[in-house]
Structure 1
Amino acid sequence: MAPSATEEPGPMQLPVISKASTINASVLHGPRDLRLEQRSIEAPAPGELQISVTTTGICGSDVSYYKKFANGDLCACQPLSLGHESSGVVVAIGPLVSGFKLGDRVALEVGIPCGQCGICRKGRYNLCKKMRFRSSAKSFPHFQGTLQERINHPAIWCHKLPDSISFDAAALLEPLSVAIHAVNRAAPEPGSTALVLGAGTVGLLTAAMARQAGCSTVTIADVDQGRVDFAVSKGFATHGYVVPRPLHSSSSSSSLCSSIASGISTPLDGIATPGSTISFQSQLDSAKGLAADMISVAASTNPLLDDDEDDGVNITFECTGKEICMHTSLYATRPGGKVIMVGMGTPIQTLPLSVAHLREIDILGIFRYANTYATGIRVLCAQSSGAGFTLPNLDQMVTHRFKGLENAKGAFELASRTVDDDGNLVLKVVIDA
């Protein structure tokens, strides 16, 4: 089925939930083996809400599971419903829940920590060892994702939405939370310069949040011209850099071009390593040259920038998870700056750490997010305020929409591409109930 126009679903009839019932679910059984099945769902337990899932965005990790039944080192070992970027409507309320009513519109925060360990008590619950995250194979039994008609979810991880936030934008609160967490870790000073590698969903949102946090220039780099153009024309970034495609695929630049592509956090085959056909030094030289080109983009158009702008940007957000992109990040960051590792991909990397050592570059990792949804909702509500920089309208990031769980397979196939059959940009694909 072809994707429908990007229009939000209309009002729904709320079912009366008082006992176990049967729902449809999209269930992955192996690589590209996606099936529509029926499951039984109980009435919500104490502390839970039952949510009728309205909109689910497809994430790069979902695509990885769909194609390989694995995401990085995490291999699924039982059927798994995918989906974790979701919004919906409260259709049933369990005992001991207050503050919600039937029909409330909510965004779902789908990582459930233990709430009791030292990490949780410090507020960094994203690092909880007992975290259960929907659509991830990390815990067993796997915590099933949101590509189901209805799910029971703890009320404390359901965030009420004002009417001004659409279901699409509410679903995008999940990747927006990653961006908020990344920028919080970076803690940019007003007027800082930033570089974002990868113009996928997370890269775009990270660039926008860096601007919202006060960065004066934000350059976004990607191999895809359409995504870079979108980022700049829609106001997510101030400058764009398209990684040039090499004339010969055997050159070291080709690995970098294929790396800075979509921000999808999966390992890339063929990355040059010491002893490979492409020498490690030539790979570093290529990364160094591209870093110089990237940081010159903003400097060449803004004569008011510091004289030492050629030394690099204050902060680089690496949103691809690829080794060679980390090389570029280190070379692109000025002395005393920061590299924020946002993308997750190549698990073992060989890095020129002397670059960071001698220039006192801080390398900071992030993993998902914590305490970000309330901030995200406030940022979205401020879009219409007109005061200073406000986040671009996230609804425009949804380029393709599929209706019904029965069409999930087509949605996943399209989400793994950068353009559709008509040559249109593919950015965020959503599945509506």
Structure 2
Amino acid sequence: MVHETCDCQQYRSHCNARSHTTHCLFLDGSTGPRKTTPSSYMIIPRHTSACFCQTSTLSRLLILQSCSQIQECRSIELPLAGEIQIAIRSTGICGSDVSYFKKFANGDLCACQPLSLGHESSGVVVAIGPQVTGFTIGDRVALEVGVPCGQCGICRKGRYNLCKKMRFRSSAKSFPHFQGTLQERINHPAVWCHKLPSHISFDAAALLEPLSVAIHALNRAKPEPGATALVMGAGTVGLLTAAMAQESGCSAVTICDVDQGRVDYALEHGFATHGYVVPRPLHPSSSSSSVVSGISTPGADGAMTPASSILSTLDSRLEGARTLAHDILAVSSSSCSPSVEDVSVHDDEHSPNIDTNNVQDGEEDDEGVDIAFECTGKEVCMHTALYATKPGGKVIMVGMGTPIQTLPMSVPHLREVDILGIFRYANTYATGIRLLSASKRLKQALKGPSGKTLVKRGLPSLDNMVTHRFKGLHRSREAFELASRTVDDEGRLVLKVVIEA
């Protein structure tokens, strides 16, 4: 609860009291007289940002320890100077969270102490620390969970996502680990909390985090008006990247995935103009970087395998990627208007007989997309993105996956294809909030008399991307298990899973 008073001396007298009856604003939103103890209320003087009489409160959180789920109840201290305390309302489950949940690691990052997951979150301000201005109790906020040092040269240049001292919630990259947002309450620096308008839901606000990745990718790509784009991967980040490509002026955006349902969803909801379902099985996603100098290399059973055999396998994978790129481009150029029929499913038996030498040798200089966004982190998808990009184009590495990959470097080298890396995001939340607000206003303004949208404009609904919701931290295990699947037990598409308070 919050008690308004005139000076700090008065609140100190309350702190020393065993109990007190006063007219207050409680943290649950209720008001009125209530008998309280020092541990159940806080006091905000009128002339300062905040003063506190309680020292801590209990907050449940989800803690992982050695791949097991433990729900704990811990004491959360009052926010320090510059911090606010947020009651978390919605947290989206990211692929990295699922990886930590299942393996206690994400790629090369291994957790070495108990780790709370979650970094796509929104909530309500329930306490305000000293030296914080611009926030009031009850403000709705989205959390930007990466906290840089703010002092280094990189930070001063505005590229704080690359700060070496960055602490990012639910990541094992920094030690001690910066605990994630899957908890009832959390203290977070106020400067990294973004106030939300009332018409943006908590679920949509949580998805501002993956939307920020997409915004950052487009900021790096800098597409020209009317450019063409390819997005490899139709997960949350891939879908939002495709939507942002259209928002940034791309006239044709093709999205690819191995899952038919996700490609269908992308087309039906306006995330992309064209779609392609990649045939299964793909070539193995493991890197072929085991090729070393010499005539042989150890195999899985310890026996020496001729290097020529490994190189032959690599050549086969590259040939498959060239063919796949040509098939995707054929779909991309098949129609100028968005349509669900743009989805193409090919397999080895029905795939057209295509001469891939044109793509390899660059004889058709204009064939390819201007920008390819690789959102899976898979080596074969990176190969395909390189072959599908026209000379002078760009490949944007968005997804993080296989850390060591073998790439056909002559493709970007001889065709001057720029390869740009993306790591999280910087300076994107304000843009994301403006985009969501503008999309909401446009959709309301363009509704016809029957309630049907007359014109598709702005970003697709982020709320509709949430396919499954779980109420309470006690259902976290169910949520994580489902988030690792593409369909639920009823055969419905699984796209974004959120845990709500």
TM-score by length of 2: 0.77
State the match for 1:339 in structure 2: 395
CA deviation map 1:264-290 (0-9, x unaligned): xxxx55879654497100100000000
User: Are 1:367 and 2:418 matched, yes or no?
Assistant: no
2:210 aligns with one of 169, 175, 180: 175
Output the CA distance in 2 between the equivalents of 1:66 and 1:381: 34
Please report the RMSD computed on the Cα atoms of aligned residues, expressed in angstroms. Answer: 1.9
SS at match of 1:326: helix
Aligned ranges 1:19-168 → 2 under 5 Å: 19-31=55-67, 33-168=68-203
Q: Which moved more, 1:332-341 or 1:20-29?
A: 20-29
Secondary structure in 1 matching 2:73? strand
Distance 2:333 2:441 in 1: 30
Q: Which runs of 5+ in 1 are unaligned?
A: 1-11, 247-252, 256-267
- Structure 2 Cα separation of the partners of residues 145 and 278 of structure 1: 45
2:277 alignment partner AA: V
Question: Partners in 1 of 2:234 and 2:310 — Cα distance?
Answer: 28
CA shift for structure 1 position 19: 2.1
More deviation, 380-389/53-62: 380-389
Counterpart pick for 2:463 among 388, 391, 395: 395
Q: 1:389 Cα shift?
A: 3.3
Aligned residue in 2 for 1:318: 374
Which aligned runs of 4 or more in structure 1 are off by greater than 6 angstroms? Answer: 270-273
**Paired residues for 1:192-341 under 5 Å:** 192-246=227-281, 253-255=282-284, 269=286, 275-276=309-310, 279-302=313-336, 311-341=367-397
The one-letter amino acid of 2:317's match is Q
User: 2:69, 2:477 within 8 Å by CA — same for their partners in 1?
Assistant: yes
Instruction: Specify every segment of 5 or more residues in structure 2 that has no aligned partner in the other structure, as ranges.
Output: 1-26, 30-39, 43-53, 292-308, 338-363, 447-455
- CA drift at 1:82: 0.0
Once residues 428 and 328 of structure 2 are traced to their aligned partners in structure 1, the CA distance between those partners, rounded to angstroms, is 30
- Identity percentage of aligned residues: 71
Aligned-partner Cα distance in 2 for 1:42–1:208:
40
Q: Helix, strand or coil for the counterpart of 2:81?
A: coil
Contact persistence 2:98–2:480 (CA under 8 A) = yes
When normalised by structure 1's length, the TM-score is 0.89
State the match for 2:414 in structure 1. Answer: 358
- Residue by residue over 1:88-143, the C-alpha shift from the partner in whole angstroms, topping out at 9 and shown as x without a partner, is 00000001101100000000000000000000000000000000000000111100
1:183-194 correspondence runs (5 A): 183-194=218-229
2:500 is the alignment partner of 1:432: yes
Letter in 2 for 1:159: H
Match of 1:249 in 2: none
The letter for the 2-side match of 1:290 is: L
